[in-house]
Amino acid sequence: MSSESHEVTDTPLVTVIIASYNHARYIEASITSVINQTYKNIELLVIDDGSKDDSPAVLKRLQEQYGFDLRFQANQGLARTLNDAIARAKGDLIVPFGSDDIMLPHRIATQVQYMNGKPEVGICSANIETIDQDGKVMGAREQRNRNLPFRRLDFDDLFLDRKPGPMAATLMLRREALEKVGGFNADIRLEDVYIELSIARAGYFIDVLGEVLAQYRDHPTNTFKNGRFMVDNVLRTFAVFSDHPQYEQVCMKFRNSMVLKYANRDKALSREILSEIPLRYWNKKTLRGMWRMAWA
């Protein structure tokens, strides 16, 4: 992107995109956390993706109060919705934000300051604090991503799972990097994993700050709780990068982890995944998963 059309300043415009689907219970807290940012040069685009709950009424009330850009559409899915919003966004920094999550007040200011003068960083992320569906901070056991140190990730760090990855609730994307990889892939429904890998493979770094900048809401309809969806879409995402020399090992390592993860929760899924792992790729997680399926 030419420097003439987008001059670098200390307070660049940040476009926050909230795509909401059936989150009437949570959407007000999400939107007001953006409105209340200490950083003020923010463009907020909110899209209701065909909600069937009370979301439209809540959003209209909030739009009248705060004056953000609000659009309603028939359900298109998150990737298409994000691409459409990015096409009309004016910011050089793009923040896709969950309609069930909450930003801490200094989040945008902290990340903008960090991204300034670092064109090699395509994505800035940070740590998260997990809250429950009522907004209460969850116990220490659920806070695996609260106290992680700063890390810089390249493609192999991410693809080979060498370091803890970025948190979806804290992503700030450089528009130039998004455009370089063609935006989100409408055929892949784990949008964050795909865009992180794509931008890293394009040669950018992903820097994850070692502080909490958002609250991630754990509730019954979180995507990650749908086991089959997660397994299918992670593997579909990995397939985009199948030219990597360790592609097969990466897929098998992931499958082994899923055998163990779902051995108690969904034995049928765990057995199905196990059947896709050749004996030579079995590891300790495979065996622990098998033991759980048999005895737990």
Handedness of CA 164, 102, 116, 5 (dihedral sign): positive
SS3 at position 237:
helix
DSSP code, position 135: S
Q: Which residues contact 92 (CB under 8 A, 6 or more apart)?
A: 6, 8, 12, 13, 174, 175, 176
Angle at 71 (CA atoms; ends 51, 190), nearest 5 degrees: 60
State how far the Cα of 287 lies from the Cα of 279, in Å rounded to an integer.
11
* Mean pLDDT value across residues 100-114: 96
**230 contact partners, CB below 8 Å, separation of at least 6:** 190, 223, 224, 258
CA–CA separation, 210 and 103 (whole Å): 16
- Tell me what pLDDT residue 3 has: 37
The pTM (predicted TM-score) of the whole model is 0.90
- C-alpha to C-alpha distance for 296 and 223, rounded to whole angstroms: 25
Spatial neighbors of 42 by CB under 8 A, at least 6 apart, are 13, 14, 15, 16, 34, 108
The pLDDT value given to residue 77: 87
Q: How many helices and strands, by DSSP H and E, does the chain display?
A: 11, 9
Q: CA-CA distance, 139 to 90, in Å (whole number)?
A: 39
How confident is the model over 39-58, as a mean pLDDT?
94
**Does residue 186 register a pLDDT over 60?**
yes
Domains of the chain: 14-217 (3.90.550.10), 223-295 (no CATH)
Residue 175 has pLDDT above 70, yes or no: yes
Asked if 175 contacts 199 with a C-beta cutoff of 8 angstroms, the reply is: no
The pLDDT of residue 138 is 80
The tokens of 159 are what? 């693809």
Q: Is the pLDDT of residue 9 over 60?
A: no
Give the model's pLDDT for residue 147.
82
Banded pLDDT at 189 (limits 50, 70, 90): confident
CB 174 within 8 A of CB 64: no
pLDDT at 229: 87
**Which pLDDT does position 190 carry in this prediction?**
82
pLDDT above 70 covers a percentage of the chain that reads: 93
Neighbouring C-beta atoms of residue 215, cutoff 10 Å: 22
190-232, pLDDT tens digit by residue?
889 999 999 999 999 999 999 999 999 886 655 555 788 889 9
pLDDT at residue 254 in the model: 95
Query: Looking at residues 49-74, what average pLDDT do you find?
Result: 94
Give per-residue pLDDT as tens, 253-281: 999 999 999 998 889 999 999 999 999 99
The pLDDT score that the predictor gives to residue 220 is 64
